[in-house]
Amino acid sequence: MNDAFVLYHNPRCSKSRAALALLAEHGIAPRVVHYLDTPPDAATLRALLRMLDLEPRALLRSGEDTYRRLGLASHALDDDALVEAMAAHPELIERPILVRGTRAVIGRPTERLRQLLD
């Protein structure tokens, strides 16, 4: 069953490292996707958003320089534009994201990951 878990991971992120540690404590070795090296395409991002039950804006890291540089705070941008921006600039994607089957959760705080460990 462990192979059902996928973690979108940034090894430089303390929350992402904490997510891996929490999963290891539960004997779970997820498939790890280093999303900065192998960014999800727009279709994958849309699927993740459906699993997370979020709008694209809620998955954006608004503190990133790229967010400001691309003017992503503008509400004139539609969902497709935001998804395309995340696909082109994966540093904009909130992390970590844990997927199990058809469900997903953002691991901020890390304890939220427990929702998928039942």
**Pairing label, strands 103-106, 31-34:** unpaired
CA atoms within 13 A on the CB side of 78: 1
At residue 106, what are phi and psi to the nearest 5 degrees? -85, 130
Please classify residue 97 by burial: count the beta carbons closer than 10 Å to its beta carbon, then call 0-12 exposed, 13-18 middle and 19+ buried. buried
Q: Which of 13, 36, 51, 54 is catalytic?
A: 13
**CA distance linking residue 85 with residue 116, whole number of Å:** 28
Tally of residues, the chain: 118
Tell me, yes or no, if 2 is annotated catalytic.
no
Q: Write out the catalytic residue numbers.
A: 13
